[in-house]
Amino acid sequence: MIIDSHCHLDFPELYDQLDQIIERADLNNVKHLMTISTTLDSFKKIELIVKKYKNIYGTLGIHPHESKNFTYISSQEIKNLYNNNKKIIGIGETGLDFYYKNSEKSLQKKLFIEHIDAAIDLDLPVIVHTRNAEKDTIDINDFLSKVASLLIHAAKIDQDYTNDEKEIIKKTLIKLGAKNSNIDKIISDATINEENSNQILNFTKKIKNTSELDKIKIIEALWEIIYSSKDADIYETNLMQRLTGLLYIDHKIMGDIKEKIKKKFLK
């Protein structure tokens, strides 16, 4: 017996001849099929397919190419759409595709995390698509930990780790795709990592290759942490000078962000 674990029966060229496809599959000893969701419209068709054919199962998810069209999708919405349908047996197709670049990297990462969170809560497997993004796919949660570690390091450098700085860190992680339910664990793990590390290279080598949009969010958070105390001391200034090179940030961009945040806190 053969099981086809990845097909797209909702695609127009297949959807209009499902009876014939199922018949041919059976003749070739393909007894069960799993049809994979790529958009919400795709999922609506899949719901109809799995209801009609007892040997076909489906998944629920947004393909990384489509991330730009589904920026509003959250893990909770995925769970709501699942609606305890016993014939929906996986979450996806989700993941990262940095080859075709149909959607921004940051949007793909955020939606990937939403899918993972939903799958964990539903106790379902994740169907992962990855192309030219294997390392980022494996390290998707490690990235947030490294960002948190760097922000904590900046907050502690003046020996005064304040509640305001902790809130800035939390808000930044959420902007980068972290879930509220997972924030405390990310920060707890990052605090341990920061305490056990003797150099910021352990954090920056993970961050330097992220999208420019995400790097700007991180740089803004770093300056917000620094200027939340209304002043930048020599240690904080030296840290930001080092990060300009380590994160491959243009000096003018770094300066512009600094002035913007400085005005925000000193007005």
Does residue 124 share a domain with residue 31? yes
**Crossing angle of helices 105-122/140-156, nearest 10°?**
110
80, 73 in Cβ contact below 8 A?
A: no
Does residue 187 share a domain with residue 93? no
Does residue 185 share a domain with residue 91? no
Does residue 105 share a domain with residue 144? no
> What is the number of domains present in the chain?
2
Report how far residue 72's alpha carbon sits from residue 89's, in angstroms, rounded to the nearest whole number.
23
Does residue 146 share a domain with residue 91? no
Which of 86, 101, 134 lies at the terminal end of a domain, its last residue? 134
95, 134 in Cβ contact below 8 A?
A: no
Does residue 11 share a domain with residue 101? yes
pLDDT of residue 86: 96
The strand pairing partners of 3, in sequence order, are 32
Does residue 65 share a domain with residue 27? yes
pLDDT of residue 111: 93
Q: What is the mean pLDDT of each run of 10 residues along the chain (267 residues)?
A: 97 96 97 98 98 97 97 92 96 96 90 90 94 86 90 94 96 86 89 90 88 91 95 93 95 95 88
Phi, psi of 127 (to 5 degrees): -95, 110
CB atoms closer than 10 angstroms to residue 242: 13
pLDDT of residue 259: 95
Residue 4: DSSP 8-state: E
pLDDT of residue 81: 96
Task: Write the CATH number for 194.
Answer: 1.10.3680
Does residue 120 share a domain with residue 154? no
CB atoms closer than 10 angstroms to residue 68: 13
Does residue 119 share a domain with residue 44? yes
Does residue 144 share a domain with residue 130? no
Which of 78, 109, 134 lies at the terminal end of a domain, its last residue? 134
pLDDT of residue 213: 85
Does residue 108 share a domain with residue 58? yes
| Domain extent at residue 222 | 140-266
Q: What is the 3-state secondary structure (H, E, C) of 82-147?
A: HCCCCCEEEEEEEEEECCCCCCCHHHHHHHHHHHHHHHHHHCCCEEEEEECCHHHHHCHHHHHHHH
**Crossing angle of helices 234-246/140-156, nearest 10°?**
150
Task: Write the CATH number for 107.
Answer: 3.20.20.140
Which of 79, 112, 134 lies at the terminal end of a domain, its last residue? 134
Does residue 173 share a domain with residue 122? no
CB atoms closer than 10 angstroms to residue 50: 23
Phi, psi of 102 (to 5 degrees): -75, -20
Phi, psi of 120 (to 5 degrees): -65, -45
